[in-house]
Chain A
Amino acid sequence: MSDAIFEKVQEAFIEALGVDDDEVTPGASIFDDLGAESLDLLEIVFLLERAFDIKIPRGGLEESSKEGINPEDYEKDGVLTQLALDQLKALMPEVPPEEFQPGLTANDIPRLFRVQTFVHIVERLLAEKEGAA
């Protein structure tokens, strides 16, 4: 993980949530540890887009987790299948595996986010941008 990227991500969280820098650790849960609410995600995304000159697609992680899975095998009665959970687990190694519990819905995905989740998103988008240049 690039220190420079983490520092900018950390600044975004500090500005959006008014927390101290020592609270914004890579493994900090943005909802449970940092007290974010869903609207704060909007601001965090906005700040990161400006800081890195990137475009962060809404629902990007959820969409990535659907790759290679038939829609009917992703969710059943609104609940994510084990296949979907395994895909999310692979996409978010920073989240303790025990948090990918049966019964999760797509709406629950943001609640799994860590600060490091956003670092990974930024790293990926910057790499894509560099590759496209």
Chain B
Amino acid sequence: MPRLARPVDFGFVVHPLTLGQRRVLGLRLRERGLVQGRLTDPGPRDIARLSLTVPGRASALRGILVGIPHLTEELLADQAAGVEAVAAAVRRCAAAGARVVGLGAVAAVIGGQGKAVARAVPQVAVTTGNTTTALAAAETALRLQRLRAEPSAPIGLMGPPGPVANALLDLLTGQGQSVQVVSAKPPTPLKRRAARINEQGYGRVAFVSDADAVLRAGLPLVAASSTGGRLFRQALPPGVVIDVAAPQDVVLDGPPRTDLTILDGEYVRLPSPLGGSGWQQLYRWITRQGRSVFGCFAEPMVLALADRPDLANVGRTIPASTLRSVGALMDRWGFVVDGLHADGRALRAPLQGIGLRRRPST
């Protein structure tokens, strides 16, 4: 008599970002075509079962990681097919008991930033993870600012009008942080948004034409575009960049530099190390997510833990109320940004490798 798996609380849909990752997925699923790098589609398949011990909760939070074999470009090339593939994976998570399902990487982008997937699977709450990503990035940026010689100086932000960047603009200025938005030609809705923020009298918004100007002024830059690949490491002036979420904005061309620090912008520390099956450990090794995970991965955990599927978010707008509510839940359940990370590793000392610079005196 086969043993039935216990129902899960949350799910997360993943897909390979590189051909190498697809081959590993093929090994996991025992699909020869995938091991050979081809897109043979066995349908969504379970990758790993997850468990998270949370102080104050009698039983562990249980999750399931479900994978589809499509690479980024394959999902983008035929969105209708991509949406159906992701929706099938969400249904599989729901069948396992998940009340909230998070979408990773491009799965969160296609079909209107998750809207089409959410419509296709109305029986479960689908969330892109943008809320938690924005909250984690804001806390990372504010934490960095507190370490700086001039914490009241502005911070640069690249990415509006993308959803994470727009949310960051609200979060940072709401905390009194002034922001220089990188935009050579600010679109009308963004100019209106900036004017509204400036009327509120907290942090101020100004526009600057390019990312280099931010770094040359000795200010840190938060790079949070939706598309990634906007900056090239070798061409950037010295300074600090907080690169938020995949796809990464900073293309790592050439060797690392000692005068430019690239921080990870979206890590959230879990209340305890994520546990699970052996394949969870492989996923952890590949993605460098163990005790600290990407915000988008943490989001379905937080929402399931708090039994707040209503806070799941898809689309290009994150309501301010959702940001506040999810932020409060993260605090309540111990999902925190407690340090700075670079290249998936926590920085041991606050200033180690940061490369903070004073603004040049005039």
A positions within 8 Å CB-CB of B: 15-19, 31-40, 42-43, 45-47, 49-50, 58
Contacts and interface: CB of A to CB of B under 8 A. Distances in A.
B338 to A, nearest CB: 31
Contact of B188 (A33, A38, A39, A58): A33
B189 A39 contact: no
A32 B80 contact: no
B109 interface: yes
A29 to B, nearest CB: 8
Interface residues of B, number: 24
Given A18-B317, A42-B110, A43-B113, A31 B187 contact: yes
Interface of B: 76-77, 79-80, 83, 109-113, 115-116, 161-162, 185, 187-190, 225-227, 316-317
Given A18-B317, A35-B161, 5 more contacts: A35-B188, A37-B161, A37-B226, A39-B113, A46-B80
A interface, over-half SS: helix
B120 to A, nearest CB: 12
B192 to A, nearest CB: 9
B interface, over-half SS: helix
Contacts, number: 58
Contacts of A31: 187
A33 B227 contact: no
A39 B226 CA distance: 7
A42 B161 contact: no
Contacts of A37: 161-162, 225-227
A39 B315 CA distance: 11
B187 A39 contact: no
A106 to B, nearest CB: 15
Nearest to B83: A46
Contacts of A46: 79-80, 83, 110-112, 116
B79 A32 contact: no
B115 to A, nearest CB: 8
Nearest to B190: A35
30 contacts: A16-B112, A16-B316, A18-B316, A18-B317, A19-B189, A32-B185, A32-B188, A34-B187, A34-B188, A34-B189, A36-B161, A36-B187, A37-B161, A37-B226, A37-B227, A39-B226, A42-B79, A42-B109, A42-B110, A43-B111, A43-B112, A43-B113, A45-B79, A46-B79, A46-B83, A46-B111, A46-B116, A49-B79, A49-B80, A50-B80
A15 B111 CA distance: 12
A34 B190 CA distance: 9
Contact of B187 (A15, A32, A49, A50): A32
A47 B80 contact: no
B356 to A, nearest CB: 31
A38 to B, nearest CB: 5
Nearest to A111: B185
A54 to B, nearest CB: 12
A33 B112 contact: no
Contacts of B225: 37
A58 B77 contact: yes
Given A42-B76, A58-B77, A35 B112 contact: no
Contact of B112 (A32, A36, A38, A47): A47
